Structure 1
Amino acid sequence: MKYAIITGASKGLGESIAKHLLQEQIAVVSVSRTENEELKNIAISKGMDYKHISCNLSLETEIQEVFMEIAHCLFEKNPTEILLFNNAGVIEPIQKVGNLDQTPIIRNIKVNLIAPILITNLFLSKAQLTNTKVTVINVTSGAAVRSIEGWSVYCSSKAGLNMFTQTTAIEQAELKTENTIIGFSPGIMDTGMQETIRSSSEAAFKELEKFKEFKEKNLLLETDAVASRLIDLVLRGTPESGRVYHIKELLES
């Protein structure tokens, strides 16, 4: 049996990924600070194995404790594959360098970069002792490869996540494991993160009006459509380890 772990599964893309996986009869472990009751009800109606675990991904000690417990429980079941979706992310602080506050800088790096590194390291370590394949999907951003004024911290954390993804893939290939790690850039979606961006100031974020237009002109992607393409790639495609996929590629294929 396959099991999926999804960080940030309570809303946005994470919620949509969880819904699609439950439809595919894949057991889901949701990790976020709050539980999505709809996911629990879907799992109950389908008789699927589902569990929510609360975790603050900006606290390293909490990450270690929570994911050690998850790994212990899942690997004990001898699953054929564990799908790890490092989806949780934060955009703040939106501000130019010189006007940044320390606390949101540190939280951004911890949630967007340190948490995925710690979680991936833990699961690949456990996988060395089992026959379970681990597939890691790191949700990244176009901002990882494009400098955006006001987003220096977000751009940097996502660029770091891309490099971590690519380097880990090289290492796993050298070790001749069956494990796969990819990046996935979901594009500009209609999520709470976009609301945060639109509520920022033009002094802090030069492209503010452009992002407001995305919403006004209905140009934002729906998370369900994005999740559907990602799940198709992961479950029915042949993801190339180390590659960063963009939603545009998947929508065009």
Structure 2
Amino acid sequence: MKYAIITGASKGLGAAIAKRLMNEEISVISVSRTENKELRKLALEKGTVYKHFSCNLALEKEVQEVFMEISHFIFQKDPSEILLFNNAGVVDPIHTVGNLDQTPVIRNVQINLIAPILITNIFFNKAQHTETKVQAVNVTSGAAVRSIEGWSVYCSSKAGLNMFTQTAALEQAELKTQNKIIAFSPGIMDTDMQATIRSSSKDAFRDLDQFKGYKENNMLLPAETVADALVDLVLSGDAESGKVYHINDLLNK
């Protein structure tokens, strides 16, 4: 049996990934501060295994405790494969350096970078002692490779996530494990994160009008479209460990 763990599964891309996987009859573990009741209802309709764990990914102690519990829950069932989607992310703080507040800076790095590192570490460690394959997906951003004024923290945390992905892939290859780890850049989606960006100020974010235009001109991708492309890649078994995939490349195949 395959199990999928999805952080930030309560809404947006995470919820869309969860729904698609349930339709594929894959067991889903949802991780977020609040539960999406629609996922529980869908699981009952499909007859698939579903379990929700509440976790604040900004607190490393809580991350360690919750994901050790999740790993124990899953590995005792001897699954054939675990799909780990490190999807949760935050764009705040949106402001120029010199005007940043400490708390949101730390929260951003904790959620976008430290939590995926800790979570992946737990599952790769557990997999060493079993026959279970782990396929990890780190949701990154085009901002990881492009400097955007007002997004210094977000750009930096996602760039770090890309490098972690590439380095971990090298290590797994050297260890000759069957594990894979990739990064996935979902492009500009119609999610709450885009709403957060549009609500920022022009002083903090010079490209504000451009992002408002994406919404006004219907240029935002539906989360379901992005989720389908990502899940298709993951389930195909053709994903190249260490690679950073971009949504446009997958949609234009």
Ranges in structure 2 where 5+ consecutive residues have no aligned partner: none
Q: CA–CA distance in 1 between the matches of 2:140 and 2:151?
A: 14
Residue 4 of structure 2: SS of its match in structure 1?
strand
Q: CA–CA distance in 1 between the matches of 2:19 and 2:212?
A: 28
Q: CA–CA distance in 2 between the matches of 1:249 and 1:77?
A: 36
The offset of 1:236, in angstroms, is: 1.7
Tell me what 1:146 maps to. Answer: 146
Tell me what 2:195 maps to. Answer: 195
The percent of aligned pairs where both chains have the same amino acid is 71
Q: Please give the residue correspondences for 1:207-222 in structure 2 after superposition, counting only pairs within 5 Å.
A: 207-222=207-222
Tell me what 2:22 maps to. Answer: 22
Tell me what 1:115 maps to. Answer: 115
Tell me what 2:232 maps to. Answer: 232
Q: CA–CA distance in 2 between the matches of 1:62 and 1:237?
A: 32
Q: Please give the per-residue CA displacement for 1:113-169, whole angstroms capped at 9, x wherever unaligned.
A: 000000000100000000000000000000000000000000000000000000000
- Structure 1 runs of 4+ aligned residues shifted over 4 Å read none
Q: Please give the per-residue CA displacement for 1:38-58, whole angstroms capped at 9, x wherever unaligned.
A: 000000011110001100000
Q: Please give the per-residue CA displacement for 1:146-197, whole angstroms capped at 9, x wherever unaligned.
A: 0000000000000000000000000000000000000000000000000000
Residue 52 of structure 2: SS of its match in structure 1?
strand
Q: CA–CA distance in 1 between the matches of 2:2 and 2:111?
A: 26
Q: CA–CA distance in 2 between the matches of 1:131 and 1:154?
A: 36
The offset of 1:235, in angstroms, is: 0.3
TM-score (norm 1): 1.00
Residue 241 of structure 1: SS of its match in structure 2?
coil
Q: Please give the per-residue CA displacement for 1:211-231, whole angstroms capped at 9, x wherever unaligned.
A: 000000000000000000000
Confirm or deny that 1:34 pairs with 2:34: yes
Aligned residues: 253
Q: CA–CA distance in 1 between the matches of 2:46 and 2:196?
A: 34
Ranges in structure 1 where 5+ consecutive residues have no aligned partner: none
The offset of 1:250, in angstroms, is: 0.2
Q: CA–CA distance in 2 between the matches of 1:236 and 1:242?
A: 16
